[in-house]
A and B are shown apart, each in its own frame.
Chain A
Amino acid sequence: MQDRDTIDRRTFTRRTAAVTGAIALAGCVGGEEPGDGDETGDGDGNGDDDVAAVPELPEIEDPPDAVYVPTHREAMRMLEPIDAGEFRLAPMLSYPHPFWVIAGGGSAEEEVERIDPDDGRGVHMMFTLWDAETGIVLPVDEGTQITIYRDDEQVGSPRSPWAMISQEMGFHFGDNVSLPEDGTYTVEVTITPVSTTKTGDLEGRLEERQTATFEFVYDDEFRHEVVGGVEYLDEDDWGRRGALGPMDHGHGEGGHAHGEEHGDGHHDDGHQHGDGDGHHDDGHQHGDEHRDDGGHDDHDHHHVPYSELPDVDEYPGTVLVDPDADERPAETMDLPRSGDGAFLATLTEPGFRLADGDERYLLVSPRTPYNRVPLADMSLSVTVERDGETVAEPSLEQTLDSELDLHYGTSVADVQPGDSVTITVESPPQVARHRGYETAFLEMPPVELTIPEES
């Protein structure tokens, strides 16, 4: 269970007054009264000098081995995006919270480790990093670094924040960082060149190391904002298969209506993509807008892109299909899954720009099933079979393309309609996970597809 000792009784009471009775009750189930043993002090009646550093975070018992809805929406403070050469990044701060790091296949229990925040004060420090020109979020771990200063004195050792995925934030970098006391902190971020294979308009770019700095104030006001801003979901939804939609990046912490980019508000805060009812029916339009907006977002200086991949029909070539499926997948929700990751695979026409010469390009784009967040830093290979004989067994190369975003691909010479293609996950995405993603994308069995006759 989450340690309750860090929550202040009054804060807890204020929060529970604002959410449903069921959740308020659930928050108290399983032991002592919230606030018991809390040394930050009850009853001084002052109200502002003992704000909890972290909110009450109930646990979900036995979540599914799949993407699931967590207990709450996080609150965070968005700072103004900053430029760093060709890069742009948006810092975000929240309360320290649990996340999971992975080193390995995920088959051994020890390869995944839950990180629980220290009981002391601090922040969960995050940033989304993107290419300022194309607006593409850079979803690969290249070893960015942060160093924190206070009054020109370095605070703690430098660190490399983890590459992470979360339902609300998509792909970002982050870590829990302890802070010794309240005050104004300066963070120096070092962005390393993107060594992942880059194609399209990204080729030859993003190759200079850059640094950028931002400041933030850690104080009661901050804690009020991020702890008090947590929105608990209906308990009936906790642990259900589905996901929170992306948070409203462009307009500060949650609660606002959506702005011009998102138009119809399909990403309305609180909306969840569920198994049965969470259809993302306007997703490809959103994708178009997202892409078009990328290069010229001056009209909204604060716009922060979300790492959402294009939907199925935006990819070139023939979509590979599950041989047992009735219909061709129309959108990400319909794609075959492995470890609850949705696998889009297409085979292009000969001579496609990413293929060698007049060969075809085999593209595999694994993504989260509801929000289309790229599953980065995997190793994939494919086996192509025809009449029971293996005709090709290439490894796929992780590639970042200005149009097709993050995918795994290879040029193929002799592949034709009717061939079967088995995608083998050699290692699952080696990215840390926020709650709701930590039980998915670990055990990922092969995905068996066939190349349909071209229609």
Chain B
Amino acid sequence: MVPDRSSLSRREYVRALVATGGAGALSACLDAVDDGEATAAPSGTDDPDSLPDRQHAWNDTLSSDDDGNVLLPEHHALVALSLRAEPNEEDRDTVEAAFRTIERAYEWSNEGLVFTVGYTPAYFARYDGSLPDSVDLPEPVALTDREDPAFDEYDALLHLASDRPEVVLEAEEALFGDRETVNGVDLEADLSGVFDRREDHRRTGFVGDGLPARHTDLPDVPESIHEEAPFFMGFRSGFRESQATEDRVTISEGPFSGGTTQQLSSMDLQLEVWFEQDNHYQRVSKLFSPEHAEEELVGAFGERLETASGLTDDRIEATAADARERGVVGHAQKAARARENGDPLLLRRDFNTVDGDRPGLHFLSLQRGIDEFVRVREAMTGADLDVPSANNGLLHYIFVNRRGNYLLPPREHRALPPADPGSGA
């Protein structure tokens, strides 16, 4: 059902359309953004070799803020896919042709479209051979006593992202054959003969300055969220120095060299308690570190932090002492304990959501192997710390309800790869 425009601002309306999905939503979205200044999305390329070998090579083509931090595209859709039948070579050709059509249609950028396709352990289980040792892709599991997530057990996940909401919708519709052309390019192939879309697991979201504050019409999104905050928790995130590089998360050996692993945890956020019970000082203590609060390092929504979250080695090392001596530890401080020689292990591409009309987070991270995510999550959980749950970073406010692990193969193997492409299976 297409949302009622009359009750929503334009930005809320297009966000709601992305969440809704489908041809009707796309049509309405095109109408909504076509306010006289309609410009077509920039076109893509006929030369697939001009595109990066890595599906996850986004950073060079995305925009950056004044501090040089990469800005993720504003609108996201995660489209869950199940194979209709066991895949064959013809299916592989179809899938590759469909993706190449999209790449011809849209510039590989936040103005056009960036996307990845990832495959689950359940997908690879159909092959006789196992994944090579160079790929660490276990089945997802619960990682703390507090969570009991459902798992992504379908075959694949498309991640579509653009600053233009209509592009996210149009690309999805094009890939599923509901259009003849896409951004002026004739559709050669689509995915609908190969995959079924799993509507029950379709997820959407948004990230960017001021976007969270536009959802205060929902009962569980408090009015008090800072109007410039890019994330629901009310602060900037994704600082350059807190992010792994694309090189760091890339698989460096074997047939999937140039690929990466993707971890996706979807969770509810308890914003009413966060914003209306805790005060700003407590929020800064719990999100960054108690010293950030004491020394007022953060500002109203993180604007004082420029390219880094202010985590010196001392503040990271102080985590256990802060737990005992201050009774509270910061989320960022804890998680940073998993850094290797000072380098973060995860490249976060997470974004907020109001799927189900409740505030949430799709925590999407890229890392060389899932074991690295698990290490960071354990550091972030902080079960070793002598601190009660309510003051242990963000544990009191996040409720993980789904998790999936994926392999994002290099572009050359992105279409229905066998478990070990090198073996000729």
User: Which A positions have Cβ atoms within 8 angstroms of B?
Assistant: 101-105, 108, 110-111, 113, 115, 118, 140-143, 145, 154, 156-160, 162-163, 175, 178, 180, 190, 192-193, 195, 209, 376-377, 379, 395, 398, 426-428, 430-432
Q: Which of B253-312 contact A (CB under 8 A)?
A: 268-273, 276-282, 285-286, 290, 293-294
Smallest Cβ-Cβ distance to B358: which chain A residue = A157
Q: Which residues of B contact A431 (CB under 8 A)?
A: 388
| Inter-chain contact B388/A158, CB cutoff 8 Å | no
| Inter-chain contact B324/A111, CB cutoff 8 Å | no
* In the complex, per-residue mask of B218-262: 1 if CB is within 8 Å of any chain A CB, else 0: 011000000000000000000000000000000000000000000
B349 in the interface (beta carbon within 8 A): no
| Inter-chain contact A141/B325, CB cutoff 8 Å | no
Q: Which residues of B contact A162 (CB under 8 A)?
A: 390
Known contacts A104-B285, A157-B269, A159-B273; A145/B146 CB under 8 A:
yes
B92 in the interface (beta carbon within 8 A): no
12 contacts between A and B (CB under 8 A): A102-B327, A103-B327, A103-B328, A104-B326, A111-B282, A157-B220, A163-B390, A209-B145, A209-B148, A377-B387, A377-B388, A431-B388
- Complex-state Cα separation, A118 to B276, whole angstroms: 9
Q: Which residues of B contact A163 (CB under 8 A)?
A: 388-390
- Complex-state Cα separation, A430 to B329, whole angstroms: 12
Stretch of B171-179, B371-379, B391-399 at the chain-chain interface: B391-399
| Inter-chain contact B281/A427, CB cutoff 8 Å | no
Q: Which residues of B contact A426 (CB under 8 A)?
A: 324-325
Residues of B within 8 A of A (CB-CB), count: 42
| Inter-chain contact B145/A430, CB cutoff 8 Å | no
Q: Which of B315-331 contact A (CB under 8 A)?
A: 323-328
Find the residue from B276, B388, B396 having the highest chain A CB count within 10 A. B388
B359 in the interface (beta carbon within 8 A): yes
Known contacts A156-B220, A157-B268, A158-B399; A110/B389 CB under 8 A:
no
| Inter-chain contact A395/B282, CB cutoff 8 Å | no
B386 in the interface (beta carbon within 8 A): yes
- Complex-state Cα separation, A140 to B326, whole angstroms: 17
- Complex-state Cα separation, A105 to B397, whole angstroms: 21
B8 in the interface (beta carbon within 8 A): no
B383 in the interface (beta carbon within 8 A): yes
| Inter-chain contact B389/A141, CB cutoff 8 Å | yes
Known contacts A157-B358, A158-B268; A175/B395 CB under 8 A:
no
- B272, B278, B281, B388: the one contacting A140 at CB < 8 Å is B388
> Could you list 7 further interchain pairs (A-B, Cβ under 8 angstroms) beyond the known A105-B325, A115-B277, A159-B270?
A104-B328, A111-B281, A113-B278, A156-B272, A158-B268, A209-B148, A427-B326
Known contacts A101-B277, A104-B285, A156-B272; A145/B390 CB under 8 A:
no
- Complex-state Cα separation, A178 to B386, whole angstroms: 32
Q: Which of B24-54 contact A (CB under 8 A)?
A: none
| Inter-chain contact A379/B386, CB cutoff 8 Å | yes
| Inter-chain contact B324/A158, CB cutoff 8 Å | no
- B220, B285, B324, B326: the one contacting A395 at CB < 8 Å is B324
Smallest Cβ-Cβ distance to A140: which chain B residue = B388
Q: Which residues of A contact B270 (CB under 8 A)?
A: 157-160
- Complex-state Cα separation, A142 to B396, whole angstroms: 10
- Complex-state Cα separation, A162 to B281, whole angstroms: 18
| Inter-chain contact B272/A113, CB cutoff 8 Å | no
Known contacts A156-B272, A195-B383; A430/B282 CB under 8 A:
no
Q: Which residues of B contact A143 (CB under 8 A)?
A: 145-146, 389-390, 395-396
| Inter-chain contact A101/B389, CB cutoff 8 Å | no
- Complex-state Cα separation, A192 to B397, whole angstroms: 15
| Inter-chain contact B146/A103, CB cutoff 8 Å | no
Q: How far is the CB of B326 from chain A (nearest CB, A)?
A: 5
| Inter-chain contact A103/B278, CB cutoff 8 Å | yes
- A104, A115, A145: the one contacting B327 at CB < 8 Å is A104
| Inter-chain contact A110/B282, CB cutoff 8 Å | yes
Q: How far is the CB of A149 from chain B (nearest CB, A)?
A: 13
| Inter-chain contact A157/B272, CB cutoff 8 Å | yes
- Complex-state Cα separation, A330 to B193, whole angstroms: 82
Q: Which residues of A contact B396 (CB under 8 A)?
A: 143, 160
Of all A-B residue pairs in the complex, the 9 with the closest CB atoms, nearest first, are A110-B281, A427-B327, A143-B389, A141-B388, A379-B324, A377-B388, A103-B328, A158-B399, A103-B282
- Complex-state Cα separation, A8 to B324, whole angstroms: 46
Q: Which residues of A contact B395 (CB under 8 A)?
A: 143, 160
Q: Which residues of A contact B272 (CB under 8 A)?
A: 156-157, 159, 178
- Complex-state Cα separation, A115 to B388, whole angstroms: 19
| Inter-chain contact B293/A110, CB cutoff 8 Å | yes
Known contacts A103-B286, A110-B279, A157-B358; A379/B220 CB under 8 A:
no
* In the complex, per-residue mask of B129-169: 1 if CB is within 8 Å of any chain A CB, else 0: 00000000000000001101000000000000000000000
Smallest Cβ-Cβ distance to A207: which chain B residue = B145
| Inter-chain contact A157/B359, CB cutoff 8 Å | yes
| Inter-chain contact B399/A157, CB cutoff 8 Å | yes
| Inter-chain contact A113/B388, CB cutoff 8 Å | no
Q: Which residues of A contact B324 (CB under 8 A)?
A: 379, 395, 426-427
Q: Which residues of B contact A154 (CB under 8 A)?
A: 358
Smallest Cβ-Cβ distance to A118: which chain B residue = B276
Q: Which of B334-384 contact A (CB under 8 A)?
A: 358-359, 383
Q: Which residues of A contact B273 (CB under 8 A)?
A: 159, 175
Q: Which residues of A contact B290 (CB under 8 A)?
A: 104
- Complex-state Cα separation, A435 to B276, whole angstroms: 19
| Inter-chain contact B389/A157, CB cutoff 8 Å | no
- Complex-state Cα separation, A209 to B146, whole angstroms: 8
| Inter-chain contact B383/A428, CB cutoff 8 Å | no
Q: How far is the CB of B150 from chain A (nearest CB, A)?
A: 15
- Complex-state Cα separation, A268 to B103, whole angstroms: 77
| Inter-chain contact B145/A195, CB cutoff 8 Å | yes
Known contacts A143-B395, A192-B146; A105/B327 CB under 8 A:
yes
- Complex-state Cα separation, A192 to B390, whole angstroms: 13
- Complex-state Cα separation, A379 to B270, whole angstroms: 27
Smallest Cβ-Cβ distance to B285: which chain A residue = A103
Q: How far is the CB of A99 from chain B (nearest CB, A)?
A: 9
- B325, B390, B399: the one contacting A427 at CB < 8 Å is B325
Q: Which residues of A contact B219 (CB under 8 A)?
A: 156, 180
Q: Which residues of B contact A101 (CB under 8 A)?
A: 277-278, 282, 390
- B148, B269, B281, B390: the one contacting A430 at CB < 8 Å is B390
| Inter-chain contact B399/A145, CB cutoff 8 Å | yes
Q: How far is the CB of B266 from chain A (nearest CB, A)?
A: 13
| Inter-chain contact A430/B391, CB cutoff 8 Å | yes
Q: Which residues of B contact A195 (CB under 8 A)?
A: 145, 383
- A142, A156, A379: the one contacting B389 at CB < 8 Å is A142
Q: How far is the CB of A145 from chain B (nearest CB, A)?
A: 7
Smallest Cβ-Cβ distance to B357: which chain A residue = A154
Q: How far is the CB of A341 from chain B (nearest CB, A)?
A: 15
Q: Which residues of B contact A178 (CB under 8 A)?
A: 272
Find the residue from B148, B282, B397 having the highest chain A CB count within 10 A. B282
Q: Which residues of A contact B268 (CB under 8 A)?
A: 157-158
